[in-house]
Chain A
Amino acid sequence: DGGITQSPKYLFRKEGQNVTLSCEQNLNHDAMYWYRQDPGQGLRLIYYSQIVNDFQKGDIAEGYSVSREKKESFPLTVTSAQKNPTAFYLCASSPWTSGTGELFFGEGSRLTVL
């Protein structure tokens, strides 16, 4: 079954703890993205990666970190430095070399900080 897989779907963490959200794709896409979705705020870009071992900050990268060691994987770590981490996180990938600009999204991960 092809697509984007995010895990876990729901995650609870205590303040001061780091947490890592997983994103895996088997679409052979070059580019991968992390967005944060908050009610009334739409989607805001956290980080994106065009190729393996390279990534760029988006609009709200502070308090987050990523890695891109494999083409199919783009994990996001929400660190204790993120002041308001409770949110819905969406991962996406894109066959950017095709030039279509279409993003394929995962089902999302909802993080709640207690």
Chain B
Amino acid sequence: DTEVTQTPKHLVMGMTNKKSLKCEQHMGHRAMYWYKQKAKKPPELMFVYSYEKLSINESVPSRFSPECPNSSLLNLHLHALQPEDSALYLCASSQGVVGTGATDTQYFGPGTRLTVL
């Protein structure tokens, strides 16, 4: 089972709203990721939670804040977003083990399409 679920599938929000994206996996993975993907572009890494440690892409603005309530859940809280934040937001998870013999493949969820008005 390589399923990663994301909710909601679509989200439309105003610039003053606060909303959250949810990601869940039940594969016992220890690493979870948030990616942002603009149209016709490859995904760009925003955050990594690996073994309860958060790593941040320094180019990500503070209006995005991740939260990891437990090892199966990863939320992305959104506040005061801008229209240019409209994109597909992809969550992924992996075992979190690296080194020879452990490929640590990332498995992706179906994404949340976010539109900021």
Indicate, yes or no, whether A interacts with B: no
Binding site for B on A (CB under 8 A): none
Where the two chains meet, the residues of B that have a C-beta atom closer than 8 Å to any C-beta of A are none
